[in-house]
Every structure is written in C-alpha cells, then in structure tokens.
Amino acid sequence: MNTTPTETAALLARARAWAAEDPDPETAEQLLALAGAAEADDAGAAARDLALRELADRFAGPLGFGTAGLRAALGAGPNRMNRAVVRRTAAGLASYLLQRAAGAYVPTAVVGFDARHKSEVFALDTAAVFTAAGIETFLLPAPLPTPVLAWAVRALACEAGVMVTASHNPAQDNGYKVYLGGEAAPGDGEGAQITAPTDREIAALIDHAAALDSIPLAASGWTVLPGAGEPGDVAARYVSDVAALASADANTASSGHGLRIVLTPMHGVGGETLSRVFAAAGFTDVALVDAQAAPDPDFPTVDFPNPEEPGALDLALAQAESSGADLVIATDPDADRCAVAADFPGEGWRMLRGDEVGSLLGAHLATHPATRFRAEAEGADRPVFANSIVSSRQLGRIAEAHGLGHRTTLTGFKWIARVPGLAYGYEEALGYCVAPDLVRDKDGISAALLVAELAAGLKAAGRSLPGALDELALVHGLHATDQLSVRVASLDLLGAMMGRLRAQPPTSFAGSEVVSVLDLAEGGELPPTEGLSFLAADDTRVIVRPSGTEPKLKCYLEVIAPVGAADELPAARAAARERLDAVRRDVEEALGL
C-alpha cells in the first residue's frame, strides 16, 4: 500500500484510539491485531500491506446513513457495523426526534432485532441511548421478524422504529433500518421507512467524531414488550391481526382445504411467527424444513441467504417433491420477503418469479372483501394498487380490469407504502404489501398467508397456481420478465456503463425498434432517480439502473404478447422466452459486455 510513514502512523494511531474506547472487546481486539500486523518486523511485506489495506478500508470514512439506514459488514472502525457506530447513529436519530417534537410531546420509539450476530447488542445499545435522551422506548422481547417491528410502529403509535437486521445479506453483515410514524410522520408515510430528505436530516445530526463517553447511556428505563406466554404478547397480537386477513370463505379453520405446505425460514426469524399465523388461519398441514428451521446467524445450508439465489430453495423443493406438498413458502432471514414455489406441469417444481406472485396476489386482492374496506378506511375514492417501475406492467392491467386505481413508483417500499389509498403493492424482488393498514412495508408473513389462501381456494376448485397464471395471461396478455445483473469491481464502472448507454442507446430489441427512451434522472411523473427506460414498438420494455445496495448494474426485461386461447399458451411462452433471450443479448451488446 502506497502510504507515507506519516500517513501510516496516523492510520495506526486512529486504529488504536478507536480500540481504546470501543465498548466491544471483540472488535477492539480486531483493530489491535491489525495494527500489530501492520508494523510487525517479523511479518512479510505482503502481510503488513494486507493489514494496512484492511485498516485503511475500515477508516475510509464514516458508514453512510441513507434511506436504507445502515448496512455493512460487521467489524471495528467507522466504515463497519459495530457498537460505536450504532451508538453514534442512535444519538443522531434521538436528536432528530427531539427536534421534531420541539417540546410539544415526548417522542416514543420501538426497537427490534433479528438473530444475526450482534443484533441484540445493537438493539440494547439503541434502547440505552434513546432512553437516556428522554425518548420513551419499547424493546421487542426476542428476535422477531422485521414486519413485527414495522407493525409495532403503527400499533404503538410510535414516532420511530428501529430494526437491527441486514435482511438477506451475507452472514458477515448487519444493518439498521429506520421507520417514522406518529407525530413525526403523519399521513401516508406513517409507519414507513424513511425517504429523502429525512435521511440527510438525520445523517447531519450523527456526530461521527463524538467521544463515546459523551453519549449518555441509560442502565434501564426502557420497556421490554411482553413476550411469549405473557399477557399482551406483542408477537401474538401481530399474529392475530395478520391471521384475520384470511377470508372465512377461502379456507376452513379445520382443514385449510387440505393444503400441504412446506415452509423454510432460511435460518432466519420468520419460522415461528409464520407457523403461528398459518395455524391461527386454519392451515395445519405445514412442514418446516428442519435443517433451516431454527435461527442461525451463520446460515450454514445456503451460500447466500436470499430465496432468489440459485440453490437457496433446493432443500425445500426436494422436501415438497418427496412429500407430495402443494406449495412451498420461503421467507428471507428477517421475513420481510416471501418466495413461492409450485409444481408446474411439464416443468416440475420451480420458484415463481416475483412478478408472477405479484400478479397472482393482485388478482386475488382485487376481489378480496378487505380491499375496498381498507380503501374506505384510508379515505380513498377507490382502492389503489401500486408496484415499482421495474416490476411487471400486468398489475396495472389487473387493476384497470377491476376498476381499481394503479400507481407506478420508484424502486423500494419506502415509495410504494406512501401511495395514497394504497390497498396492495409489490416489487419484483419478492416484496409484497398486502395489508398496508397493518404494515406499511413489505411483509413476507402476511403475503405468505394470502398466497396460501389463494392456493387453498384454487385447490378446492380443482385448480392450481400455475393454472391461475395461465388464466391471467389469457385475460391480460402474457407478461414475461427476466433480469440481467452485471456485477462490477468498482462503483465508478457503474457510472461509466450508464454513460455509455446515454451516449449510444440501443436502437432495437429483438428486432423491434426502440420508440421511447426515458432518462429517469431527469424526473417527471416520478422523482429523479438514476436509470434509463427503453420501450420498443412491440411493447418490449427494458429498464437499466444501478443497484442501490450492491456494486451491480441491474437490467429489467419485459415482453408482452396477447394470447387468444389456452392451447396457444405453450407456444406463446416459448416464443416469449426466445424474445427475452434476444433482448438480453441486445442489452449485453449495448453495455459492451
């Protein structure tokens, strides 16, 4: 590493100073070990250089706080997730809440955590900082899903909610997700994740240079909410609210129409809560994937704890096939996302794409008795469905056919949840909001229940989820989607690739002329965001945007084809697949891959 002796000495001094005030002996030892390795006379030059590079990365700058809160690898230093960073962030958030209150009320906050490494410690530190700052604080009693925390923000009328989780990130990561509600975010944003400029306002109040001993910590004073077996059990209240979403005429409390479900929580915290919801709604034939049932922060049976990743559902699919199951449900580690798999004639078991589940749930909810009730409760003229700009256009056609409103939003539930009159929203990355009056965020548990309700009703009528997809294609056109993700070594390359597309946009996709190019950065109907949207004459659509959480360029492809009769569907699907492959090749060429 090319640093001067003065720069190296300053870096080592910063590392030792951080270690000296680090409240976590484990991360303090990490820094001291790295500092020692970086100046060890008996270590080779390569080993010393490696230690210096690691220290430089950890001290490259403070971990950025944005609309997703914080998310990074665990470890010592300002550019990692650790107790020092969490305490400073909590102090900044507390200052924001107190400034918003301006003495007119006492802010309240609820803090939750999952089963990842350090999650409970970070939650306790947050509760201690909040309480010392004068914020009335509630702490969830155990590792619980993110939707329970999001539900609690509204159920307890809190001004803020903090969930310590890294969702479906790798085991070495953790994160800090922030919601606002109550007096701090009334209206359509109540109980939703933060958006700009709130993130910047909170970030401005985080003092990254503050000495840790200058941040007061309460030894007690927060309220641990009732847990399992206690009166007022907070998880039981959530379970009761969610189970009530199931229609009495769609399943029976005694049998759930005989639906046999295989469930995997992917080593996360969703298994127990979702099992309780299924049982309360009458779905009793639910078999957990034993190897993935208990929370385990190391996620030992999967390379990446994301149901979308190849191989992640292999154990569940094998169990479903061997047991004669009707349905596979998977939640990601914090259970805010839901994956669905079914047995397709001629294909075998496969996971449904997020857009397929999104459309199925949309068609189900379009006639669901609770949908119009929710719209009326929100004061809307009619229920509104919403999905992100990169999701399929089929939901808009479903909403129109049922006389419902429809809105397209930027990517992320912080936008979907704020749509006025929202009755249902989804994004293709396995996120579904089926009950915004309960949880203004994606909720894999309530979505799983309504998927089971739909599957049970179809089974009772001698139908299936694959068949229901065919029926949607016949009515609204065959909508086929795919993705191309390009991982890069440097974030700078993302800007270069987007610049190439702007300078030399593709002129056709799969032989169909591009008739519209929309630069999403210029704004318009939606707030400005980095991305490009291309529309071809045959209604093929391609959207290209940088990932908001990873060094990836993501390309979303969709082709639409009318289908006149059921016997035309196999050929139409094959033709759509060929078109998607051709579009994919054209996108790769445009990107210079």
Q: What is the dihedral of CA 39, 41, 46, 51, to 10 degrees?
A: -20
| C-alpha–C-alpha distance, residues 409 and 395, integer Å | 13
Tell me the C-alpha distance between 290 and 126, whole Å. 33
Separation of alpha carbons 317 and 310, rounded Å? 12
* Superfamily for domain range 355-442: Alpha-D-Glucose-1,6-Bisphosphate, subunit A, domain 3 (3.40.120.10)
Q: What is the CATH number of domain 477-591?
A: 3.30.310
Which runs of E-coded beta strand occur in 101-159?
108-113, 136-139
Give the pLDDT of residue 552.
Answer: 86
Q: Which two tokens stand for residue 382?
A: 């009619």
Angle at 462 between CA 457 and CA 465, to 5 degrees: 60
Cβ–Cβ under 8 Å, residues 106 and 184: no
CATH class, domain 253-341, is alpha beta
The one catalytic residue among 119, 167, 392, 464 = 167
Boundaries of every domain in the chain: 5-58, 70-224, 253-341, 355-442, 477-591
Q: What's the residue count for the chain? A: 593
CA distance 308 to 343: 17
d(CA 558, CA 578): 12
Residue 275 a catalytic site member: no
Burial code (b: 16+ CB inside 10 Å, e: under 16) for 502-530 equals eeeebebbbebebeeebbbeeeeeeeebe
Q: Give the pLDDT confidence score for residue 257 in this predicted structure.
A: 62
Burial of 205 (0-12, 13-18, 19+ CB in 10 A): middle
With vertex at residue 43, the alpha carbon angle to CA 38 and CA 47, rounded to the nearest 5 degrees, is: 60
Residue keyed to tokens 């169990």: 319
d(CA 431, CA 13): 45
Token readout for 128 is 């201690």
Low-confidence stretches of the chain (pLDDT < 50) are 249-254
Given this model, what pLDDT does residue 67 score? Answer: 85
CATH superfamily of 70-224: Alpha-D-Glucose-1,6-Bisphosphate, subunit A, domain 3 (3.40.120.10)
Burial state string for 102-133 with b = 16 or more CB within 10 A and e = fewer than 16: eeeeebbbbbbbbbbbbbbbbbbbbbbbbbbb
Residue 302, judged by CB atoms within 10 A of its CB (0-12, 13-18, 19+), counts as buried
Structure-token pair, residue 273: 């809560």
Quick one: tokens of 511? 């032989």
Q: Which residues pair with 536 in a beta bridge?
A: 514
The pLDDT assigned to 254 comes to: 41
Copy the structure tokens of residue 480.
């086929």
> What is the SS3 assignment for 577-593?
HHHHHHHHHHHHHHHCC
Q: What are the CA-CA distances from residue 518 to residues 320, 415, 428, 505, 592 (Å)?
A: 44, 20, 21, 11, 20
Pairing between strand 348-351 and 338-344?
antiparallel
* Closest C-alpha among 62, 306, 441 to residue 70: 62
Give the Cα-Cα-Cα angle 338, 343, 347 (nearest 5 degrees). Answer: 115
3-class state of residue 200 by DSSP: helix
Q: Helix, strand or coil for residue 109?
A: strand
Rounded-to-integer distance, Cα 39 and Cα 235, Å = 51
- The residues near 308 (Cβ < 8 Å, ≥ 6 apart) are 339, 351, 354, 429, 430
pLDDT of residue 43: 63
Same fold, 253-341 and 355-442: yes
85 neighbors 34 (Cβ within 8 angstroms): no
Give dist(CA 585, CA 206) in Å, integer.
46
pLDDT at residue 375, rounded to an integer: 56
- Which residues sit opposite 542 in a β-bridge? 534, 557
